[in-house]
Structure 1
């Protein structure tokens, strides 16, 4: 069976979204890309890589795209506690709606994602 290797998030501004998704996923920006972000030296179509140093989780790529479809370019379901939720909000997420079993949030470019409390017995939302 194939394994999930990476998730690609198309974006307008990787300088904005790479740090945001690094905080939200806990995946650090790859060393080479961290330097390029700091120097603002990414090429016009150059992606930023977020990578788990231990290789246990899929990579996340923030890839600039000239044309972006409306909401729904990605949708991630994340599990987190109250402290992690606070960090996500502080990083720039906005609450779209509160549902009984999870919260729908949006990143700074409007991509929606769900945050499911860690204590939820069956974290498979249907939204």
Structure 2
């Protein structure tokens, strides 16, 4: 099977979403892009790269697009404890709905993602469309 190399998150505003997803994933914005975010000098269609310095996790690209498709531009399942959940909410996420085994959250542009407690897995009880 192929290896997962990267995740691409389409967005309207990479200046908003790159810092959000960097905080939520713990992946730093690469140095060159960090400078461009700081001085707001990204080219109109330029993406921002979040990269694990150790190379153990896939890259995450924050990629601006003119027209965003409807829901489902991306969906991540993250695992975290109560402290990590609080940090995600502080970074700008909102709770969409609480489910018995996980919480559905949204980033500042409305992309939904799930936060599962550590040691939990979706198993066979996924919601339709999940």
User: Do they superpose with TM above 0.5?
Assistant: yes
**SS class of match (2:36):** helix
Structure-to-structure mapping, 1:1-127, within 5 angstroms: 1-120=1-120, 122-124=121-123, 126-127=126-127
Matched residue count: 126
CA–CA distance in structure 1, aligned partners of residues 122 and 72 of structure 2 = 20
Q: Secondary structure at the match of 1:10?
A: strand
Distance 2:56 2:65 in 1: 28
Aligned equivalents of 1:51, 1:6: Cα separation in 2: 9
The CA deviation at 1:71 is 1.5
Provide the aligned C-alpha RMSD in A: 1.0
Unaligned runs of 5+ in 1: none
Tell me, what secondary structure is at the counterpart of 1:84?
Answer: helix
Deviation sequence 1:55-108 (CA, Å, 0-9, x none)? 000000000000101121000000000010000000000000000000000000
> 1: distance between equivalents of 2:99 and 2:58?
27
For residues 79 and 97 of structure 1, the distance between their equivalents in structure 2, rounded to whole angstroms, comes to: 16
Give the TM-score, by structure 2 length.
Answer: 0.94
Please list every run of 5 or more consecutive structure 2 residues that lacks an aligned counterpart in the other structure: none
> Any runs of at least 4 consecutive aligned residues in structure 1 with deviations exceeding 2 A, and if so which?
122-125
